[in-house]
Amino acid sequence: LKLNSQNLASFASQQGSQTVQVPTYDRNDVKEGIVHVGVGGFHRAHLAVYIDQLLQKHGENTWAICGVGLRPNDAAMRDALGGQDHLYTVIERSAKGSEAKVVGSINSFLFAPDDRQAVIDKMAHPDTHIVSMTITESGYYYNENTHQLQAEHPDIQHDVSNDTDPISIFGFLYLALAKRHAQGLKPFTVLSCDNMQKNGSITRHMLESFARLRNPDLAKWIADEGAFPNSMVDRITPSTSQTDIQSLADNFGIDDAWPVVTEPFMQWVIEDKFCDGRPSFEKVGVQVVEDVHNVEQFEKHKLRLLNASHSAMAYGGQLAGFKYVHEVMEHPIYNKFVWQMMQDEVKPLLPEIPGVDIDKYCHTLMERFSNPTIMDQIPRVALNASGKIPQFIMPSIAEAIWTTRPFRRLCFVAAAWFQYINGVDDKGNAFEVDDPMREELQALAKAGGTEPHKILSVKMLFGDDLRNDKRFTDEVTTAMQLIAKDGVLETIPKYVD
Ligand code: NAD
């Protein structure tokens, strides 16, 4: 049965072989307090699920979501959601089995290429109090070396002198905030839900920098009156496959054009810094904390352990021919490698968080990575590496060197990425490298061979700290040469005790 409002009651009364949870709140009686940019898998498994629970259990009906897609490929999400009253199914998978929940918190969807002004107007609407986003790390135009906005980027250059057809997130946010200012409204809170250490602070800095290029007075208003909470977000959410769509139909009787598959685990630690109200997130299990320092510590644990381990499995895993994360975990030596990298190299660098048992956290991660039912794709975890490795791996290497601690395994991960950039695996099979900097990096990888110096010359990614450090470059060169000569699976035992 097709997923739409009309059929919801039939799903609840069991269509397929298993029961389905559906929203029972009145979806016509809500206000859209949140505009979310980047309606991909993660948003639909995370923020939209928390909001769905607030609507379902706590009647907070001023916080429904208007989804926004800025990029041409978001047309597919517009069409999928538009064809089913913006309802979709979250399929939670674990060893215990699958559960299906229909989520109703996304109330409408705007596709910017259809009508850019409509997106600006929506963000500027008095009912909108929060603009949240999951636009991937590369959506922030952040220079890792200078920590400044990439002001020379063509998208930013375009948006600096354009009042009607912005391209970048900052063009939209700026024009919407300018409109609110002109109307005497408060700014909305800008809430980044992307995997970046200090995601809120970076968003604030990038938007203020952009605004200063256009109108310093407005930039000051945004700085003084706006809010940009930092947050740590967590729920492993693979890309949806055709098999997922089919199994939802077979097992639950739901014909959903684009369900989302995820794990039961979910976590969100968020700084309590909102300038125009917020939902009662804590009622649905979100950890809302006063102290920014506290959020930063949670972020650091998560990015340096979970995301770094994903990187450890992604690039070496792709070269070795693995397709899914759980397959890497099933390889006994690779499994040990991931565990030892976390325990011996990353853990000693991390702050203690009261109430958090870091060993237990690492064990839970190993279990989550090993979940064979979510089928998390290696290419998904690998994509956009230029936005990931400088955040998840390089800071740990630098800190380990400065504190004279071990860092060989972390260097192996960097080396595997450098080899991966060539787009050819250990058996000589070509694969697609999905990265906004692909062309530049592939040219450097080709020119550098099994030496990392050419790639490390990209200052925007690597800065100066490490590329002139012989301890680092020697380790990476050794790993690159071993991988090039023997392949990942022959090399990795040399990195495991
Ligand atoms: P996805 O591919 O399903 O969706 C990505 C969305 O971001 C799309 O709507 C796309 O159009 C948009 N986007 C990409 N680049 C953009 C840009 N430059 N400007 C504006 N929009 C842009 O990916 P996803 O799984 O939803 O992940 C998105 C982000 O969420 C990740 O990059 C990460 O920061 C965060 N996240 C994901 C997971 C996960 O397990 N998938 C977990 C934690 C955090």
- Spatial strand order of the sheet with 130-133 comes to 106-111, 65-69, 34-37, 130-133, 189-192
**What is the mean pLDDT of the segment spanning 461-469?**
87
The protein residue with its alpha carbon nearest to ligand 1, atom 37, reads: 42
Ligand 1 mean position to 129 CA, how many Å?
Answer: 22
CA-wise closest residue to 192 among 237, 144, 231:
231
Report the mean per-residue pLDDT for the chain. Answer: 96
Cβ 109 under 6 angstroms from ligand 1: no
Q: Residue 173 has which token pair?
A: 């946010």
Q: Residue 331 has which token pair?
A: 């390889």
CB 46 within 8 A of CB 14: no
The protein residue with its alpha carbon nearest to ligand 1, atom 29, reads: 136
Give the integer Cα–Cα distance in Å for 124 and 184.
Answer: 11
The protein residue with its alpha carbon nearest to ligand 1, atom 39, reads: 237
C-alpha 400, offset from chain centre: 25
Give the integer Cα–Cα distance in Å for 40 and 28.
Answer: 24
Please give the model's pTM, rounded to 2 decimal places. Answer: 0.95
Q: Residue with structure tokens 């040219």?
A: 443
Give the integer Cα–Cα distance in Å for 397 and 222.
Answer: 36
Is the pLDDT at 217 greater than 80? The verdict is: yes
CA-wise closest residue to 188 among 29, 37, 56:
37
Q: Is the alpha carbon torsion for 451, 319, 40, 118 positive or negative?
A: positive
Give the integer Cα–Cα distance in Å for 293 and 214.
Answer: 32
pLDDT in tens, 163-204: 999 999 999 999 999 999 999 999 999 999 999 999 999 999
pLDDT in tens, 445-458: 999 999 999 999 99
Q: Is the alpha carbon torsion for 453, 458, 462, 463 positive or negative?
A: positive
Number of neighbours of residue 412 by Cβ within 10 angstroms:
27
To which H or E segment does residue 261 belong? Answer: strand 260-262
To which H or E segment does residue 257 belong? Answer: none
Give the integer Cα–Cα distance in Å for 105 and 261.
Answer: 17
Quick one: pLDDT at residue 19?
78
pLDDT in tens, 258-309: 999 999 999 999 999 999 999 999 999 999 999 888 899 999 999 999 999 9
Amino acid identity for residue 64 in this structure:
A
Q: Coil, helix or strand for 179?
A: helix
Closest ligand 1 atom to residue 236 Cα is 40
Amino acid identity for residue 29 in this structure:
D
Ligand 1 mean position to 182 CA, how many Å?
Answer: 32
Q: Residue 292 has which token pair?
A: 């920014």
Is the pLDDT at 205 greater than 70? The verdict is: yes
Cβ 162 under 6 angstroms from ligand 1: no
Share of the chain above pLDDT 70, in %: 99
Give the integer Cα–Cα distance in Å for 128 and 460.
Answer: 35
Q: Residue 45 has which token pair?
A: 């498994």
Closest ligand 1 atom to residue 168 Cα is 19
Is the pLDDT at 207 greater than 70? The verdict is: yes
Give the integer Cα–Cα distance in Å for 456 and 452.
Answer: 6
Closest ligand 1 atom to residue 262 Cα is 40
Cβ 70 under 6 angstroms from ligand 1: yes
Ligand 1 mean position to 42 CA, how many Å?
Answer: 7
Closest ligand 1 atom to residue 44 Cα is 26
Cβ 195 under 6 angstroms from ligand 1: yes
Cβ 69 under 6 angstroms from ligand 1: yes
Closest ligand 1 atom to residue 139 Cα is 18
Could you give the dihedral angle defined by the CA atoms of residues 102, 103, 104 and 110, in that order, rounded to the nearest 10 degrees? -120
Residue 16's pLDDT band (cuts 50, 70, 90): very low
The protein residue with its alpha carbon nearest to ligand 1, atom 17, reads: 139
Quick one: pLDDT at residue 127?
98
The protein residue with its alpha carbon nearest to ligand 1, atom 10, reads: 38
Closest ligand 1 atom to residue 234 Cα is 43
The protein residue with its alpha carbon nearest to ligand 1, atom 23, reads: 40
Cβ 71 under 6 angstroms from ligand 1: yes
- Structure ipTM: 0.99
Residue 17's pLDDT band (cuts 50, 70, 90): low
CB 298 within 8 A of CB 260: no
Cβ 41 under 6 angstroms from ligand 1: yes
Give the integer Cα–Cα distance in Å for 193 and 472.
Answer: 32
pLDDT in tens, 71-130: 999 999 999 999 999 999 999 999 889 999 999 999 999 999 999 999 999 999 999 999
